[in-house]
Structure 1
Amino acid sequence: MGRADARRAAQGRKRRAKPKGEKGGIRRFFTWKKVLGAVLGVCLLGILGFLGLYLYVDVPDEGNFQATSQSNVYKYADGSVVARKGADKAVNREIVKIDQIPKHVQHAFVAAENKTFYQDSGVDLKGTLRGILNTLAGKGKQGGSTITQQYVKNYYLSQEQTVSRKLQEIVISLKVDNKLGKDEILAGYMNTSYYGRGAYGIQAAAQAYYGVDVDKLTVSQGAYLASLLQAPSQYDWAIASDAGKKRVQERWAYTLDNMVEMKWLDAADRQKQTFQQPIKPKPLPGVAGQVGYFIKAADDELIRRGVDEKELAAGGWTITLAIDKKKQQELEKAVKTKLTDDLKPSLRKADRDAQLGAVSVDPATGHVVAMYGGAGYTKHYTNNATRADFQPASTFKPLIFASALENHAKTQSGLPITPDTVYDGRNRRPVVNSIKPFAPPNEDEQQYGHISVQQATNNSVNSVFAQMGADVGLDAVKKTAVSLGMDGSRMDVQPAMTLGSMGASPLQMAAVYATLDNHGKKVEPALVAKAQHGAQDVELTDPIGSQVLTRGTADTVTSVLRGVVNDGTANKAIGGADYQAAGKTGTSDDNKSAWFVGYTPKLVTAVGMFGEEAKGGKQVSLKGTGGGGRVNGGGYPAEVWAAYTAAAIGDDSGAKFDLETDLGAGVAPTNAPPPSNTPSHSPSQTPSQTPSHSPSQTPSHTPSHSPSHSPSRTPSRTPSPPETPPATPTDGSGGSGGNGNNRPPGLDDLD
């Protein structure tokens, strides 16, 4: 190659070489200038699109709030109509002018919802953009709206969460802010908002929560009503949980602090404010009897499942309940014939104070097929079927045993806890290894001596289950109870919880026992079987959930609870029934509540009876109800349960429990080992105060029950309960000792 050729080749290579700083490949198409240009282009298109939308969307001539207030239709499971609620003529609303609303109440609402209301243009662009992005991401309802936007949504639009509705809201809010004065917008917002208790507007809310007209509201009351708007059903003091009460008080304080910040309330006056609890709710007209309870419970359930409360209150819903009309009639009849016909409230104060609630659930579907809430919604607003302020007492004890089985717990001496495990049942026996001194009394100070878990369940022996709770561990017991459907926020991890000292409702206890009946698969009872808004079906979660107990655990507990029905505290009330049943009685301290929760293979029903002072509402004793003495769970509650169940199960009376267990009252143990001199698992079906023979030779696993179809009422070998038990019972407690022998006040479970 000559010099000329070499020079030309070098020049060619130089031309082909990449200039310094030049990007190669795909990066040439994404320079910062091009990206910036694209962003600006998108913004320009967005602005032009919004301008077009602004010109296209007009403020409606009339608000649609009253025009779209429709009835909600509630139906029985068979499709027949239960009630219609919420038509225009029934909507509890009274429009008031802004000058009728005290300034301090107006300022409370602005302080709670939108401090910049008097300065803004009617739209919070940052909050609204966040709401749109969250809607697109499927995160559901989001906050961030101004008072103007909320007024527009209430008065002109709907509560639906869509991007198109949100864009309409922005445009109309901007135009409304230009067209109307701030006072008119604020009045519109306060008059169209829903406050719970069926109250639309500030005037109806003032009457519903404080029994006064709006012009009489105090600063504290106004701050509560302003705080309430965030979550009416959760913040209504009459029905709020402890957590809900705490949150609304925090929001109340936040509202007052904002009023001080905005110079609407003097700091010294702020310090003088005290939280004023609302009055008890007054029933709405037209929903008498059990129907009112149905409607309120169904609405609450839908709200818990995610339906917007304001959208539900606006109407247009068709709600099909799971209530079986025939079973409902049988439940009401059972309450009448077994309880209310026996009461004479004009003669006996105790009869005026007696309340009863019941819930019946199909364990296969999880549907609530019958519910009794009380004397009637217009007579007694609180639904006794869903209230959770009374102790479930000994109906909690099977959960302790379930936790023992599930966690493979052992006694203090290291033996597995089974239905045949023997415990020391002495009255007021101190609990060994308790987290604090605890020695509860048995019913009527009864002495049992050595007694099996099966017989301790039949006779609801407090000392046995107090020790079992310590053996299992109270945290583990609580975990099991919560997994079965109880409210953990009402459960203090203290020894007294073994006696059912927490609050619980018949609905919750029906859920727990339905899960046992359903072989450990979680049942979350559902009153609403179907819900439609217009032509759209609302997706409802399946009431049947995942496995929360092993089948062996659930079936063993069921087998043991059959013994309570056949041989225990419920036998007098429902003995001789021609169907298989399991269940547990309960009677709380001072006889303030009495329970029976029982089930057949295809129906679970919880019946709770509560002492509530007719005037004042405080908890009182049921003693003397019906002219008798103490009201036990094996009395009125079990009798109501038995009368209802016999009528309700119909063709299912021959159904048998399909139990996968070889333990408990309903199933005779298999492969029983030979007798042993050690009283490690001595069964005691019927405790005796008079020794019939010496218990020195005690079989370790000798069955004390006959086959599944007929549990034995008189065991072939019953060790007598000595006044002073042997020194080495299988619960490891010894004949004495423990860590205290006090009787905790307020925790004397009676059965």
Structure 2
Amino acid sequence: MGRAEARRGSRRGARRAAKPGGIRRFFTLRRLLGTFFGLCLLAMGGLLVLYWLVPVPSANAQAEMQSNVYKYSDGTILTRTGKINREIVGLEKIPKDVQRTFVAAENKSFYQDSGVDIKGTTRGLINTLSGKGKQGGSTITQQYVKNYYLNQDQTVTRKLKELVISLKVDRKKSKSEILAGYINTSYYGRGAYGIQAAAQAYYGIDASALNVSQGAYLAALLQAPSQYDWAAATATGKKLVTERWNYVLDNMVKQKWLDSATRSGLKFPVPHAPKAAPGMEGQAGYLVEAANDELARQGVDKAEIAKGGWTITLNIDEKRQKELVQSVDKQLESKLDRKNNKTDATVQAGATSVDPKTGRVVALYGGTGATEHWISNATRTDYQPASTFKPVVLASALENGAETQDGRKIGVNTRYDGTSKRPVEGSDTPFAPENEDNRDYGPVSVQTAMNKSINSVFAQMVVDVGPPEVKKTALDLGMRDKGFPERPAITLGTMNASTWDMAGVYATLDNHGRKITPTIVKSAEHKDRTVELPDPVGKQVISRETADTVTGVLQGVVDNGSGFEANTSAYDAAGKTGTSENNKSAWFAGYTPQLATVVALFGESTKEGGGQVTLTGTANSGRANGGGFPARIWAGYTLDALNGGSDATFDLNIPAPVRETPSTPAAPSTPEETPSADPSPSAPPEPTPSDSTPSPPPSEPPVESSPSTEPGGGGPSSPGNSESPALPPGAGSPNDGSAPVRP
């Protein structure tokens, strides 16, 4: 019995041992496989739901932000503006082998895959969940999606969105579009976003000029921009980036994108040392603002420009721009004591230089620096151009065939009464301007009156022509209808104008009367549009004979008149000085056959709110007249801009202008004009700005015909004036004391 029970117990134990325990009974192979496939189906279902629910979003704000790139006329970078240093370029502008360096570096299967790397993404998700941080493995498409549509957050949600959006983007966009987007949105270090900014930052060239070796370095950078920047890299960093560079090129050989023989000859392209990105300091800010203003006049809203993405090439010649700044520094700034002299602290200089044949603004001086003085002195229009307007009066007289009050046609040798405070005749508005130092000149020719900038002569000439006609001529030549009264006082430049405006007027005279509109923008391009710019050279606005006659007269101003400081004998020049009422502004407007430049000084209060103040006392030199600092700045710049001089001469379609000389040398003169009050009690006084004539050197005495030596008496209304009807412009007169013509 005992043995039988033992046998039965043994058999029951064996049976119990043969059956699986509770946990083993639960984890059967069948159940495990079922659970795995169920989870897979669930995951696939979840992905399908995500695919349908997650849309392709709009680009994130940063991805579309670009800098605007401003260039000199030769393509050299002037500056970039905008928060993001990026300039998007089309893939067609990037060499094919450079494009492939990025594929070789990041995603060799890019051209064949569906836009995602499931294995790499899964690994990234696991690492994110486990707290291991960022891991590689994403495709180019996924990195593009992260840069362009999403952000750099390391979260499960973001990674799942990246996966779904990448699948959709790969279906909707071509591989070329995706690659271009990736290359243009990636960060390369040195503040550079996109390949164009990177090419400039590391090699100082455009992306279109990159070679495969340089492209491989930029592609290698993307893995660790800060660590791999050669200029800042440690020895380890340099070793790693060199290995990465080799890895990229070796992959290109394996993909048959690069010949092995070519590969073996490549050397590591050490990038340039980093340079501080040029900003808005110095003249750059003035140039950028002038360009933006010009584009705004062509219908490009400034808000559109502010969005970025523009490449704007200026007409500014980098060499001449530097020479203009250097001339201001040498001729003016080095003489000023802005810290200790209250007058010097108020001095502002501005200048605009134009090619008179093309209208291109080749140089511009806006002030001491755009980050110190925001208003551009080159384009501001709140000061009067003073006697630089007198050539416009003469041009209007010639163009309209005007006559004096006693019926004589106005020409270069027509005589006027130069008596100071002489009341004008024939005007409903009384006006009797005072000459400089209240000096009387008696009967003088128009040429002498221009040389000496005699107020009383040009006041009468405006009346003879008619203020409305003079204003029309001024507007035709390019002046703005801003603060432009139709009264005799306009002869003294009492309207508002900028150096930019006056440079256009004088360039038009230089261009034989064919309208020149100063233009600073050479081209303006955006990926979405190219701005069509008008031709700066317009129609004939005054006859060639009129323009050339005025040029001939203005040569006399430089040769023997108030503008003698601009005469270096190294070039043929014409010009006019100007000094406004109370010496608040001083101008020199001049031109050679190749360059028209206007320089001005403005007295601007340093007190809050600004305001105009006198320039008298600038650099302890007394009156800061147009024939002083402005003429010297003009001469210094022009000499350098013309490479030390020029043999070019004015091609004037008139007889060579006569140069008058006095029978005996005149005493040195002081600045020519001072304002005077209108003597008439019946009308309010009109301001009478003054021009200034420093004494010419003894070898070139001032041109003046004194009452004792000049025949006839009185002015245009004087019966005693013996001048016969006007001679042809430029012709001599048997009784005017003319010198031989200028060679």
| TM-score interval (norm. to shorter) | 0.5 to 0.7
Cα distance between partner residues in 1 of 2:469 and 2:55: 59
Instruction: Give the aligned residue type for 2:558.
Output: V
Q: Given residue 326 of structure 1, which amino acid in structure 2 is its aligned partner?
A: K
Per the TM alignment, residue 66 of structure 1 is displaced from its structure 2 partner at its CA by 4.5
1:299 aligned residue: 292
Question: How do 1:97-246 residues align onto structure 2 when only pairs under 5 Å count?
Answer: none
Which residue of 2 is the match for residue 608 of structure 1? 600
Give the partner amino acid of 2:438.
E
Q: Which runs of 5+ in 1 are unaligned?
A: 1-57, 91-155, 157-284, 669-682, 691-711, 736-751
Q: Does 1:72 align with 2:65?
A: no
Question: How big is the shift at 1:341?
Answer: 0.3
Residue 596 to residue 560, structure 1, CA distance change in 2 (3 Å): same
Alpha-carbon RMSD: 2.9
Alignment match, 1:517: 510
After superposition, the Cα gap between the structure-2 partners of 1:494 and 1:686, relative to the gap in structure 1 and judged at 3 Å, is: farther
Partner in structure 2 of residue 238 of structure 1: none
Q: In 1, are the aligned partners of 2:418 and 2:715 still within 8 Å (CA)? A: no
Aligned to 1:329: 322
Q: Secondary structure at the match of 1:475?
A: helix
**Alignment correspondent of 2:446:** 453
Q: What does the per-residue CA deviation read over 1:38-91, in whole Å, with 9 as the maximum and x for residues that have no partner? A: xxxxxxxxxxxxxxxxxxxx997446654322111000011010011123489x
- Structure 1 position 315 matched with structure 2 position 308: yes
Aligned partners of 2:404, 2:656: CA distance in 1, in Å?
18
One-letter code aligned to 1:388 = T
8 Å contact 2:561–2:702 — kept in the other structure? no
- Single out whichever of 545-554 and 721-730 deviates more from structure 2: 721-730
- TM norm structure 2: 0.57
Corresponding position: 1:721 with 2:707: yes
2:77 to 65, 81, 97: 81
Give the superposition deviation at 1:540. 0.5
Give the distance between the partners of 1:367 and 1:733, measured in 2 at CA: 49
* 8 Å Cα contact 2:348-2:604 kept in structure 1: yes
Counterpart residue number, 1:244: none
Q: Residue type matched to 1:352 in 2?
A: A
Q: Sort the Cα spacing of 1:566 and 1:441 in 2 relative to 1 into closer, same or farther, 3 A.
A: same
SS at match of 2:586: strand
Return the alpha-carbon distance in structure 2 between the equivalents of residues 581 and 411 of structure 1.
29
How far has the Cα of 1:720 moved from its partner? 2.5
Q: Distance in 2 between matches of 1:715 and 1:613?
A: 35
Residue identity opposite 1:305 in structure 2: Q
Other-structure match for 1:633: 626
Q: Residues of 2 paired with 1:436 and 1:724: CA distance?
A: 30
Taking a change above 3 Å as real, the CA distance of residues 684 and 59 of structure 1, as seen in their structure-2 partners, is farther
Partner of 2:425: 432
| TM-score, normalisation: structure 1 | 0.57
For 2:496, give the aligned amino acid.
G
Distance 1:318 1:605, change over 3 A: same
Partners of 2:372 and 2:705 lie apart in 1 by 53
- Aligned runs of 1:684-723 on 2, under 5 Å? 719-721=705-707
Which one of 570, 593, 618 corresponds to residue 578 of structure 1?
A: 570
Distance 1:422 1:684, change over 3 A: farther
The Cα shift of 1:492 comes to 1.1
Answer yes or no: is 1:365 the counterpart of 2:358.
yes
The more displaced of 366-375 and 66-75 is 66-75
Q: What SS does structure 1 have at the residue aligned with 2:463?
A: helix
Q: Which deviates more, 474-483 or 304-313?
A: 304-313
Contact 1:432–1:470, Cα closer than 8 Å, also in 2: yes
Q: Please give the secondary structure, in 2, of the residue aligned with 1:530.
A: strand
Task: Work out whether residues 87 and 315 of structure 1, in 8 Å CA contact, stay in contact via their aligned partners in 2.
Answer: no
Instruction: Tell me which amino acid in the other structure corresponds to 2:562.
Output: T
CA–CA separation in structure 1 for the residues paired with 2:391 and 2:623:
23
1:379 aligns with 2:372: yes
User: Which consecutive unaligned segments of at least 5 residues does structure 2 have?
Assistant: 1-53, 87-148, 150-277, 669-698, 722-743
Alignment of structure 1 residues 48-59 onto 2, 5 Å: none
Shift of 1:435: 2.5
- Secondary structure of the structure 1 residue equivalent to 2:292: helix
Change (3 A) 1:342 1:713: closer
CA distance in 1, matches of 2:303, 2:592: 40
1:599 to 591, 597, 600: 591
The match for 2:558 is 565
Contact 1:685 1:714 in 2 (8 A): no
Question: Given the superposition, is the C-alpha separation of residues 89 and 720 from structure 1 closer, same or farther in structure 2, using an over 3 Å criterion?
Answer: closer
2:485 aligned to which of 474, 486, 492? 492
1:689-709 residue CA offsets vs partner (Å, 9 max, x unmatched) = 89xxxxxxxxxxxxxxxxxxx
Deviation at 1:721, TM superposition (A): 2.0
The whole-number CA distance in structure 1 between the counterparts of 2:480 and 2:379 is 12
Alignment of 1:476-487 (within 5 A): 476-487=469-480
1:304-324 deviations in Å (ceiling 9; x for gaps): 011132221111110000110
CA contact (8 A) 1:686 1:715 kept: no
Matched letter for residue 618 of structure 1: G
Residues 400-449 of structure 1: per-residue CA shift (max 9 Å, x gap): 00000000000011011111000000010000012211000001111100
Q: Whole-Å Cα distance in 2 between the matches of residues 462 and 543 of structure 1?
A: 33
Bigger shift: 286-295 or 420-429?
286-295
Say if 2:316 and 2:361, in contact at 8 Å, map to a contact too: yes
2:567/2:635 contact within 8 Å kept = no
Q: Distance in 1 between matches of 2:611 and 2:711?
A: 42
% identical equivalent positions: 53
The farther-off stretch of 596-605 and 608-617 is 608-617
Do the aligned partners of 2:482 and 2:496 also contact (CA within 8 Å) in 1?
no
* 1:413 matches 2:399: no
- Structure 2 residue identity aligned to 1:641: W
What is the CA distance between 1:726 and its match in structure 2?
A: 5.5
